[in-house]
Chains A and B, each alone.
Chain A
Amino acid sequence: MKKVIMGNHAVSYGVRASEAQVISAYPITPQTHIVELLSEMCGNGEINAKFIKVESEHSAMAACIGASAAGTRAFTATSSQGLLLMHEMLHWAVGARLPIVLANVNRAVGPPWSIWTDQNDSLSQRDVGWFQIYCESNQETQDTVPQAFKIAEQLQMPVMLVLDAFFLSHTYEIVDIIEKEQVRKFLPPYNPEIKIDTKDPHSFGNLAGPDMYMELRYMIQEAMEKGLDVIKKVDDEFREVFGRGYGLIEPYRCDDAEIILVTSGTVASTTRAVIDAMRGEGVAIGALKIRVFRPFPFEEIFAVLSKAKKVAVIDRNISFGCHGIFFQEIKSALYGRTDIPVLGYIAGLGGRDVTPGVIREIAENAISNKNPERYINWIGVKR
C-alpha cells in the first residue's frame, strides 16, 4: 500500500515490517517521530515488541546491547548529541558483535545549538566499526531497515542507517509501505547460535589479554570486508521480493563524464537535477552517490571515478584540521592508481541549503579550478 509519509515514519514502518523485538530510545529532535510512532505501534499491537523508555541515549544503546545479547532483534534511533552520548556503547556493540540496527538522523552538533542537518554526528562515529548506510529518499529509508537487519544478522555486526534532518526526516514523500508478511520472505527470524542462555552458560566480554584481543579486532575487520558482498547480495534478495534495490553506490550519467561530482544523502537528488541541466548545456558531467560509507566500497568507486578527468567531492561535514571526510575517503580510493585531480568542497553545514545554484557553483569551480592541491573549498561561507 502506498502512503504519503515523512522520512522518520518511513523508519518506523521499516522497523514494524522487520519485527524488531526490543526497542529502546530517548527523545531528540529531529528523530523523535520515529520512536513516537513505534510507541504507538507497540501500544496497539501492530508490532510485538518491548519498548524500553530509557533515561538517556547511552542507556538506549546499552538496553539494545542487553536485548541483542539475549538473542533478540533490537532497534534504536537517535541524532546528533544523542549519537555522541552513545559513543562508548557503539564501540561495545561492535566488540560484542551484536546485530543492532540504529537510525541516525543527521543533525549538526552544538554549540551553538543547531537542529538542522549535517553529517558530523555520524561521521564522527566512523571508526567505531558500525556499518553506515546513507539514505536519499523515504522509500530507500524504509527499505534499508530490513536490509540493515539482514546484513547485521548475517555478519553479527551493528548497522546504522542515516538520513538527513528535515530534508528527509520531516519531508513527506510517497512510500510503498512494506508489510511483515512480505518481509518474512526476505528476512528470516533472528535466532543466533550464541546468546545468553542458562542452559548453555558463557561469559561474554571478559578480560582478553594481548594474545587474544588483536585476533578479535581482525575478525571485525574481516566481517567489514565481507560486508560489501553481503550488502550487494542482500540488496539483490530485496529486489527479488520488492522489485527495488539501491546498491553500494549510485553513478548517474558517469559513463562518458569528464568531471564527476561525489555526493551523499539528499544532496544527491539535487545534484542529479544540476547534472541534467549542465548536460543540456553540453557539459560532460556526472554524479556519484555514496550510499554505503562503512565498509567503504573502494573498488566500486574506483571503477566509476577512474574514467573521469576530474573529481569534485561535496562534503556536508568537516574533519577540523584536515578535510571533508568523504573527500579523504575518495582520495584514498584513488591513491596510487590514478593521478586524477580531486577537489574538496565543504557546503551545507548546520542545515544551510545546498541548492542547485550551490551545486552548479561547485561544478563550475571544479571545471575551471587549476589548483586542485587546495583541498578545502568552502562554498557560500561569509568571511
Chain B
Amino acid sequence: MKPATMPTEELMGSGHLACQGCGATQAMRFALKALGPDTALVIPACCWAVIDGSFPHSCIDLPIYHTAFETAAVVASGLKAGLEMRGDTKTTVMAWAGDGGTFDIGLQSLSGAAERNDDFIYVCYDNEAYMNTGIQRSSSTPVGAWTTTTPVTNYKREPKKNMIDIMAAHSIPYIATASTAYPHDFMRKIAKANTFRGTKYIQIFAPCPTGWKLAPELSVKMARLAVTSKMYPLLEITDHGQKLEVWKDFEPTPIAEYMKAQGRFRHLSDAEIAGIEKDVEAKWERLLAKERMLASIPGL
C-alpha cells in the first residue's frame, strides 16, 4: 500500500456550487490543504464568488471577504495591514481571483500592490475566459479559442497576455505557474510562497469543462496535456525576478491532442493548429533561453 501524500485536513466542504470537473474548485481545495487554518481569503467577482455558497452558507471553514471585481489585491493589502495593526502577524492573506479579475480589470490594483510588495499570496485560477458571466473572452483567452464574444466566425486572433512576465517585471519575491493535474507541485508552490514576505503570485491552470465544451471527466487530463504540450509551462521565478526554473521532466505530447478534445477549438483546421503549435514551440524555446541566460549571469 502506498503512503498517503495528500494532507487529510479538509478546509473546504463538499457542499460547493461549482460545475462538475471545475478546476478552480480543485485548486482551492489543494491550496487550503497547503496553507492550513491560519488563512483569510479575499475573493472578487469570479466563479468563486458563487462557488462558496449563498448567504448564510459557506463551503469554506475560513474567513472569506468578498469584494468588487477589480479589488482583490488591494483589499488583501488593506486586510493584511489591518490584521497587523491588530497584532495578528500570523494569518496568511490569500487573494483568489479568476483570469478576468487578474489579467484585465484587476491588473491595476494588482500592479499597485505588487509594486508596494504588500504581504499576501495572490492566486489567479486561470480558466482562460469570463466563465461566471457565461464564457466571454478575456486577455487570458488563448489564440484560436471560441467564446461567446469570440464566435467561431470571428474566433480569438490575439495571443494570451503574458501575465507572468508582467508580474516578473514587478520584482516580487515569488512567482509560479501550476496546473490542477499536478496537485503536489501546486501545494509545494503555495507552501513555498508562504515562506516569503511580500507579494507572491501563483497562476494555476484550471480547466473549465463548461466553458471549454469539454467532458467533465477530462478536466484533469486537459490540465496535464496543457503542460506536456508546452502550452502552459510550469515554472518558478524567485530572487525578485532574477531566477527562472522551468519544469522539463515530462514526455512531450502533440498540441492537437490537447486542442481536439475541447469544443472551444473545434472550428480550427489542422493547418491552424499546426500554426499554433509552431508558436508554442517558439515561445517554449525562448523561455528556456531566458532560463539559461538568467542562470549564466554571475552573482545570481
Interface residues of A (CB under 8 A from B): 21-22, 24, 49-50, 52-56, 58-59, 62-72, 74, 88-89, 92, 196-198, 201-209, 212
Inter-subunit contact B55/A59 (CB<8 Å): no
Mark the stretch among B33-41, B134-142, B229-237 that contacts chain A: B33-41
Inter-subunit contact B77/A72 (CB<8 Å): no
Inter-subunit contact A197/B63 (CB<8 Å): yes
Minimum CB distance partner of B83 in chain A:
A70
CB distance from A23 to the nearest CB of B (A): 9
In the bound assembly, the distance between CA atoms of A217 and B99 in angstroms comes to: 31
Which of A49, A53, A56, A203 meets B53, CB within 8 Å?
A203
Minimum CB distance partner of B95 in chain A:
A66
Inter-subunit contact B109/A202 (CB<8 Å): no
- Number of A-B residue pairs with CB-CB distance less than 8 Å in the complex they form: 155
Minimum CB distance partner of B37 in chain A:
A198
Number of interface residues of B (CB under 8 A): 45
Minimum CB distance partner of A53 in chain B:
B116
> Residue-by-residue, is B100-136 near A (CB-CB < 8 Å gives 1, otherwise 0)?
0000000011011001101000000000000000000
Inter-subunit contact A56/B108 (CB<8 Å): yes
Inter-subunit contact B85/A196 (CB<8 Å): no
Interface residues of B (CB under 8 A from A): 37-40, 42, 49-50, 52-55, 58, 60-68, 70-71, 74-86, 88, 91, 108-109, 111-112, 115-116, 118
Inter-subunit contact B78/A207 (CB<8 Å): no
Q: A69-B65, A204-B66, A209-B54 are in contact. Are A24 and B78 (CB under 8 A)?
A: yes
> Which residues of chain A are within 8 angstroms of B111 by Cβ–Cβ distance?
55
Inter-subunit contact B39/A58 (CB<8 Å): no
> Which residues of chain B are within 8 angstroms of A201 by Cβ–Cβ distance?
60-64
Inter-subunit contact A55/B108 (CB<8 Å): yes
In the bound assembly, the distance between CA atoms of A70 and B82 in angstroms comes to: 5
In the bound assembly, the distance between CA atoms of A53 and B77 in angstroms comes to: 10
Minimum CB distance partner of B59 in chain A:
A203
> Which residues of chain A are within 8 angstroms of B77 by Cβ–Cβ distance?
52, 54, 63, 66
The CB with the most chain B CB atoms within 10 A, among A67, A70, A209, is that of A70
In the bound assembly, the distance between CA atoms of A64 and B82 in angstroms comes to: 9
> Which residues of chain B are within 8 angstroms of A207 by Cβ–Cβ distance?
49-50, 53-55
